[in-house]
């Protein structure tokens, strides 16, 4: 490096000597001067005379080759280029006819321009010295017109940035005509400037944009694309303005200025066999996270080892802190500290503490150093007033013990106030909790009171206007309760004949009340009959629904459901009131066309009644006199709708199946009404061994004698089943219990009250699981209020929450329930088997037959 890097003064002296040597040794016919600008260097490059002569010979050979290529192109038929050269030849002739004084001035101006184009590091003094040396050498030349040619030759391809060499030649004028290259650039052109080159790949039309220097030749561009497209160099050529461009031309020769733009076309010499491929730029290289580096040992290769190096991604831009550059090759060597991060010092083993972790707040202030100052005092000839002076007296001295005691007292004071603040906050929180709890209890009390009022009001409404079977059970239960109370009062207050008379009066009152209940039942049956008819028609006209594997429900209308929908609309139309005469006749005509489709005794009777009503309407008979006739038409049409022949959807909703073979299955005999009924008409308890009475006979017996109300237990059973559905663990026993079983469980096993609070209102009581991880059953349940049940579900450890005594009490009741409901486990298992059998067949039924569902793969 010491040989390659010399000092600036030595280079300047050596360059001056070299230039003088070159001018003396090289003939004046071809005086060559070379320049090699290097980036970021102000020192000139030195060259010896043999090197200058060698470069001159190489440039002459390249110039000769360029001329031969131009001549070959002219011979193939490119006359336009010859014309341009001929147009430019007069300019050469003019330069030859110049006088000696004008030629001398041109030479001086060109020398000055070449000195200005040198590297930025050259100073003005060096330029003046070189100019003077050249001027001194000029008188040696013949006193004739002189021309100076400058040729820019690009650097060989493959270099990172091709450097340009400018050559200035001085030729001795002769009588022969000289050929001048018209594409030769002016010395003022900066060949280091960049330009934008757009290469259009033909025939695909793909455009590739490159940033090149003005001194870069077309040969270098061809070499670049030949390597990128994997094609031979002689198989591609460049086109400019519709003509094939010479490979030796540079971008400056084509007329491109600095920061300019030029468009070239790249074509193949044989587009049929070797077309130009699509250009794909190289992907950017990404450094891996880990690399393996082999470290060589001795010269023999022994001791080599592989080291795994982890690459750290740069989080900041590395600063440039200098380096070195090779003068001849131009390679730059940067300082190594710019390539690696700063090495961190090893952590200290000594524990260190920082006061930043304490509660002390740091504050940075500017402090000024003391300065010496002078004071003025009274003396002979000088008077200083003492009016603004102050008299200071020293205070009491504070010892270290006093200081520490003062700090202790302040600490105790701070702790006292802090504990007071904690206590106040705790008390405030308790007050807020108490207030919120009182508000919650108040709201709960209001809610319970409102629910109770609503329940009483609803019960009173049910008693005044009974509609359902449960409402009439409630009335009969209230009647029985009233009768029992009156019987007890009569037995306690009366005796003998007076008692018999009171009992007779009680019997008459009971008879009147039963008669009133019967009248309400007749009215309710009439209303319920219309509701049942509408419910029957709606079920028949409802589309088929089922859920798919994705959980979405699908509806499908079949021809049978559409037929049922039409019959429902006609039935609702003939029962509408307050229709005009024309509207009524239109409805009757639609009904007549509908029933005409089937010819039977029923349809003939309906058609006859329709004609009779139409005739009476035309005669002007009042509507009150037509009620009986219209009721007959409605009843017969309803019978028409319920016939499966006319309405196929009605077959599934009829209680009596159309297939006689079905009647032989699940049919039982009722000993009370002496009828054979399906199994669904019998209510079986959990411990029954025989079928017993049917539901209708059981209800009549209950209304006549026991008059029990199961509405409360029915509500409790409904709530229990809803809570069991929420667990989703396949609980079955809760759905096997009947109202009678739940009544026995509440009244006999749990004594009709909560086991915790002894609350007896059945509307507030509910059953929950004793162990929430097991299925609900009579031997795994507990009767609590709704609030107690919510708290019981949240318990994790029952023994810890209730204690041994309470748990023994609950287990005793579970044992009693297990003995009474001993047959329930077997019944639950039977239900599971039936459910598994039914799950094998699923899907919608279109015409009464089940459609098998294909299993998804």
Q: Is the Cβ–Cβ distance between 416 and 408 less than 8 Å?
A: no
Do residues 644 and 664 share a domain?
no
Do residues 690 and 739 share a domain?
no
Do residues 562 and 605 share a domain?
yes
List beta partners, residue 267: 237
DSSP labels, 428-457? HHHHHHHHHHHHHHHHHHHHHHHHHHHHHH
Do residues 736 and 818 share a domain?
yes
Predicted local distance difference test score (pLDDT) of residue 130 = 43
Select the more confidently predicted residue: 566 or 37: 566
Q: Is the Cβ–Cβ distance between 467 and 527 less than 8 Å?
A: yes
Provide the H-helix boundaries in 99-195: 100-116, 124-137
Do residues 700 and 752 share a domain?
no
CA dist., res. 271 & res. 267, Å (int) = 8
Helix (H, G, I), strand (E, B), or coil: what is residue 211?
strand
Domain boundary among 268, 289, 304: 268
Domain boundary among 653, 676, 691: 653
Which residue from 335, 23, 69, 276 is spatially nearest to 168, judged by alpha carbons? 23
Number of domains in the chain: 4
Per the listing, tokens 């000195």 go with 115
Count of Cβ atoms closer than 10 Å to residue 327 Cβ: 19
Q: Is the Cβ–Cβ distance between 39 and 60 less than 8 Å?
A: no
Whether the predicted pLDDT of 169 surpasses 70:
no
CA dist., res. 167 & res. 730, Å (int) = 101
Per the listing, tokens 């419910």 go with 535
Structure-token pair, residue 209: 């944009």
Select the more confidently predicted residue: 777 or 32: 777
Which of 29-33, 182-186, 564-568, 810-814 has the lowest average pLDDT?
29-33
- The whole-number average pLDDT for the span 181-192 is 57
Which residue from 849, 698, 686, 843 is spatially nearest to 777, judged by alpha carbons? 686
CA dist., res. 712 & res. 740, Å (int) = 11
Nearest-10 Cα torsion for 177, 178, 179, 182? -110
Q: Is the Cβ–Cβ distance between 68 and 160 less than 8 Å?
A: no
N-term to C-term CA, the chain:
78
Whether the predicted pLDDT of 776 surpasses 60:
yes
- The whole-number average pLDDT for the span 378-402 is 87
Q: Is the Cβ–Cβ distance between 220 and 264 less than 8 Å?
A: no
- The whole-number average pLDDT for the span 731-741 is 85
Residue 766 lies in a domain: yes
CA dist., res. 686 & res. 717, Å (int) = 15
Residue 99 lies in a domain: no
Domain housing 643: 542-546+554-653
Check residue 185 and report its DSSP letter: P
Q: What is the pLDDT of residues 229-268, one digit of tens each?
A: 888 888 888 888 888 888 888 888 888 888 888 889 888 8
Supply the mean pLDDT for the chain: 75
Predicted local distance difference test score (pLDDT) of residue 569 = 94
Phi/psi of residue 217, nearest 5 degrees: -90, 165
> Confidence class of residue 838 from pLDDT cuts 50, 70 and 90?
low
Which residue from 331, 335, 330 is spatially nearest to 318, judged by alpha carbons? 335
DSSP labels, 505-537? HHHHHHHHHHHHHHHHHHHHHHHHHHHHHHHHH
Do residues 741 and 700 share a domain?
no
Predicted local distance difference test score (pLDDT) of residue 128 = 42
Q: What is the pLDDT of residues 287-319, one digit of tens each?
A: 777 888 888 776 666 777 888 888 777 666 777
DSSP labels, 574-634? HT--S--HHHHHHHHHHHHHHHTTS-SHHHHHHHHHHHHHHHHHHTT--GGGGHHHHHHHH
CA dist., res. 463 & res. 475, Å (int) = 6
Q: What is the pLDDT of residues 473-507, one digit of tens each?
A: 888 888 998 999 999 999 988 888 899 999 999 99
Q: Is the pTM of this model over 0.75?
A: no
Do residues 559 and 642 share a domain?
yes
Whether the predicted pLDDT of 783 surpasses 80:
yes
Per the listing, tokens 């070449």 go with 114
Residue 309 lies in a domain: no
Select the more confidently predicted residue: 190 or 56: 190
Do residues 798 and 690 share a domain?
no
Domain boundary among 706, 724, 747: 706
Structure-token pair, residue 668: 């039982």
The interaxial angle of helices 627-641 and 601-618, nearest 10 deg, is 150
Q: What is the pLDDT of residues 537-564, one digit of tens each?
A: 999 999 999 888 888 889 999 999 999 9
The interaxial angle of helices 627-641 and 497-541, nearest 10 deg, is 60
Do residues 561 and 664 share a domain?
no
Predicted local distance difference test score (pLDDT) of residue 332 = 87
Do residues 660 and 696 share a domain?
yes
Radius of gyration, CA atoms only, the chain: 59
Burial of 706: CB neighbours in 10 Å, binned 0-12, 13-18, 19+: exposed
Do residues 647 and 567 share a domain?
yes
Instruction: Show Cβ contacts of residue 463 under 8 Å, excluding neighbours closer than 6 positions.
Output: 471, 474, 475, 478
> Confidence class of residue 391 from pLDDT cuts 50, 70 and 90?
confident
Do residues 571 and 643 share a domain?
yes
CA dist., res. 128 & res. 465, Å (int) = 129
Which residue from 566, 559, 561 is spatially nearest to 595, judged by alpha carbons? 566
Structure-token pair, residue 277: 């491929």
Structure-token pair, residue 741: 């079983």
- The whole-number average pLDDT for the span 378-396 is 85
C-alpha dist (Å) from residue 194 to 162, 185, 348? 12, 15, 55
Residue 514 lies in a domain: no
Q: What is the pLDDT of residues 86-112, one digit of tens each?
A: 444 433 333 333 334 444 444 555 444
Predicted local distance difference test score (pLDDT) of residue 205 = 84
DSSP labels, 191-220? TT-EEEEEEEETTTTEEEEEEEETT-BHHH
Instruction: Show Cβ contacts of residue 144 under 8 Å, excluding neighbours closer than 6 positions.
Output: 100, 103, 172, 173
Residue % of the chain over a pLDDT of 90? 23
Q: Is the Cβ–Cβ distance between 34 and 52 less than 8 Å?
A: yes
- The whole-number average pLDDT for the span 422-451 is 94
Structure-token pair, residue 446: 């209001």
Which residue from 348, 282, 342, 335 is spatially nearest to 312, judged by alpha carbons? 342
Q: Is the Cβ–Cβ distance between 748 and 813 less than 8 Å?
A: no
Residue 413 lies in a domain: no
CA dist., res. 192 & res. 258, Å (int) = 9
CA dist., res. 817 & res. 821, Å (int) = 6
Predicted local distance difference test score (pLDDT) of residue 423 = 97
Predicted local distance difference test score (pLDDT) of residue 269 = 87
Predicted local distance difference test score (pLDDT) of residue 849 = 40
> Confidence class of residue 593 from pLDDT cuts 50, 70 and 90?
very high
Count of Cβ atoms closer than 10 Å to residue 743 Cβ: 20
Provide the H-helix boundaries in 465-496: 469-493
Count of Cβ atoms closer than 10 Å to residue 436 Cβ: 10
Count of Cβ atoms closer than 10 Å to residue 430 Cβ: 10
Residue % of the chain over a pLDDT of 70? 69
Q: What is the pLDDT of residues 324-348, one digit of tens each?
A: 889 888 888 887 665 556 678 888 8
Q: Is the Cβ–Cβ distance between 184 and 147 less than 8 Å?
A: no
Residue 616 lies in a domain: yes
Check residue 338 and report its DSSP letter: G
Which of 168-182, 214-228, 420-434 has the lowest average pLDDT?
168-182
Whether the predicted pLDDT of 74 surpasses 60:
no
Q: What is the pLDDT of residues 607-643, one digit of tens each?
A: 999 999 999 999 989 888 999 999 999 999 999 999 9
Select the more confidently predicted residue: 601 or 230: 601
Q: What is the pLDDT of residues 669-681, one digit of tens each?
A: 888 888 888 888 8
Predicted local distance difference test score (pLDDT) of residue 294 = 83
CA dist., res. 474 & res. 463, Å (int) = 7
Residue 702 lies in a domain: yes
* CATH code of 609's domain: 1.20.120
C-alpha dist (Å) from residue 622 to 585, 619, 631? 15, 9, 15
Q: In what order do the strands lie in the sheet with 206-213?
A: 206-213, 194-201, 261-268, 236-240, 243-244
Structure-token pair, residue 787: 């609030």
Residue 234 lies in a domain: yes
Three-state secondary structure readout of 92-121:
HHHHHCCCHHHHHHHHHHHHHHHHHCCCCC
The interaxial angle of helices 79-96 and 49-76, nearest 10 deg, is 130
Predicted local distance difference test score (pLDDT) of residue 533 = 92
Predicted local distance difference test score (pLDDT) of residue 379 = 84
CA dist., res. 172 & res. 143, Å (int) = 9
Which residue from 179, 139, 166, 192 is spatially nearest to 28, judged by alpha carbons? 139
Predicted local distance difference test score (pLDDT) of residue 809 = 92
Q: Is the Cβ–Cβ distance between 750 and 767 less than 8 Å?
A: no
Peptide bond into 523 cis (omega under 30): no
Structure-token pair, residue 82: 């010859």
- The whole-number average pLDDT for the span 734-744 is 86
List beta partners, residue 28: none
CA dist., res. 623 & res. 616, Å (int) = 10
């Amino acid at each position: 490096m010491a040989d390659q890097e010399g000092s600036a003064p030595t280079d300047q002296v050596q360059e001056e000597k070299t230039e003088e040597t070159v001018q003396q040794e090289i003939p004046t016919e071809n005086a060559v001067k070379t320049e090699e600008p290097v980036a970021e260097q102000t020192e000139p490059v030195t060259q010896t005379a043999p090197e200058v002569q060698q470069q001159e010979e190489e440039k002459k050979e390249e110039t000769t080759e360029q001329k031969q290529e131009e001549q070959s192109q002219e011979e193939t038929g490119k006359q336009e280029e010859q014309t341009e050269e001929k147009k430019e030849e007069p300019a050469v002739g003019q330069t030859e006819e110049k006088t000696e004084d004008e030629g001398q001035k041109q030479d001086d101006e060109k020398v000055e321009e070449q000195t200005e184009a040198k590297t930025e590091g050259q100073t003005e003094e060096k330029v003046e010295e070189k100019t003077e040396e050249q001027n001194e050498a000029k008188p040696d030349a013949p006193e004739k017109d002189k021309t100076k040619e400058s040729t820019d030759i690009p650097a060989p391809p493959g270099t990172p940035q091709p450097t340009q060499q400018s050559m200035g030649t001085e030729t001795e004028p002769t009588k022969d005509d000289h050929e001048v290259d018209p594409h030769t650039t002016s010395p003022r052109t900066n060949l280091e400037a960049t330009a934008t080159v757009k290469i259009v790949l033909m025939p695909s039309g793909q455009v590739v944009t490159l940033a090149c220097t003005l001194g870069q030749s077309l040969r270098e561009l061809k070499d670049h694309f030949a390597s990128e497209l994997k094609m031979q160099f002689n198989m591609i050529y460049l086109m400019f303005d519709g003509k094939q461009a010479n490979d030796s031309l540079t971008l400056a020769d084509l007329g491109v200025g600095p920061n300019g733009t030029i468009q070239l076309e790249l074509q193949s010499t044989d587009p049929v066999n070797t077309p130009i491929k699509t250009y794909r730029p190289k992907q950017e290289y990404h450094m891996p996270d880990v690399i393996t580096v082999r470290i060589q040992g001795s010269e023999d290769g022994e001791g080599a080892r592989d080291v795994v190096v982890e690459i750290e991604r740069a989080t900041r831009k590395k600063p440039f802190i200098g380096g070195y550059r090779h003068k001849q090759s131009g390679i730059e060597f940067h300082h190594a500290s710019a390539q690696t991060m700063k090495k961190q010092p090893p952590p200290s083993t000594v524990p260190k503490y920082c006061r930043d972790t304490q509660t002390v707040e740091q504050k940075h202030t500017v402090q000024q150093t003391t300065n010496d100052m002078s004071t003025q005092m009274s003396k002979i000839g000088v008077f200083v007033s003492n009016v603004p002076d102050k008299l200071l007296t020293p205070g009491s001295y504070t010892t270290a013990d006093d200081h520490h005691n003062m700090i202790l007292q302040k600490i105790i004071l701070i702790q006292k106030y802090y504990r007071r603040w904690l206590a106040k906050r705790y008390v405030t929180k308790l007050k807020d909790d108490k207030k919120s709890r009182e508000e919650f209890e108040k709201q709960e009390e209001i809610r319970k009171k409102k629910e109770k009022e609503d329940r009483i009001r609803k019960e009173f409404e049910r008693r005044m206007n009974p509609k359902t079977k449960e409402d009439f059970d409630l009335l009969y239960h209230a009647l029985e309760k009233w009768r029992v109370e009156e019987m007890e009062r009569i037995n306690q207050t009366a005796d003998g004949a007076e008692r018999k008379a009171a009992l007779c009066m009680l019997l008459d009152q009971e008879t009147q009340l039963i008669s009133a209940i019967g009248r309400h039942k007749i009215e309710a049956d009439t209303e319920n009959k219309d509701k049942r008819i509408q419910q029957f028609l709606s079920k028949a006209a409802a589309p088929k629904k089922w859920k798919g594997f994705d959980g979405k429900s699908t509806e499908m209308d079949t021809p049978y459901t559409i037929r049922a929908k039409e019959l429902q609309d006609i039935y609702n139309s003939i029962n509408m009131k307050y229709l005009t005469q024309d509207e009524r006749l239109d409805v009757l005509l639609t009904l007549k066309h509908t029933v005409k489709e089937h010819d039977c005794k029923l349809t003939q009777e309906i058609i006859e009644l329709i004609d009779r009503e139409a005739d009476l309407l035309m005669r002007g008979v009042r509507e009150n006199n037509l009620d009986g006739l219209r009721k007959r038409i409605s009843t017969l049409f309803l019978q028409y709708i319920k016939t499966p022949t006319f309405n196929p959807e009605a077959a599934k909703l009829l209680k009596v199946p159309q297939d006689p073979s079905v009647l032989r299955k699940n049919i039982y005999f009722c000993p009370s009404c002496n009828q054979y009924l399906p199994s669904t008409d019998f209510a079986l308890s959990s411990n029954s061994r025989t079928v017993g009475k049917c539901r209708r006979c059981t209800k009549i017996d209950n209304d006549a004698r026991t008059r029990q109300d199961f509405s409360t237990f029915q509500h409790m059973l409904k709530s229990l089943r809803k809570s069991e559905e929420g667990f989703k663990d396949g609980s079955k026993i809760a759905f096997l219990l009947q109202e009678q079983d739940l009544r026995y469980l509440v009244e006999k096993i749990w004594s009709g009250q909560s086991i915790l609070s002894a609350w007896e209102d059945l509307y507030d009581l509910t059953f929950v699981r004793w162990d929430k991880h097991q299925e609900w059953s009579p031997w795994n349940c507990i009767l609590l209020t709704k609030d107690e049940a919510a708290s019981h579900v949240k318990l994790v450890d029952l023994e810890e929450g209730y204690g041994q005594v309470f748990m023994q009490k609950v287990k005793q009741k579970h044992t009693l329930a297990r003995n009474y409901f001993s047959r329930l486990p077997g019944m639950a298992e039977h239900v599971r088997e039936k459910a598994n059998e039914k799950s094998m067949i699923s899907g919608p039924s279109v015409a009464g037959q089940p459609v098998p569902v294909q299993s998804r793969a």
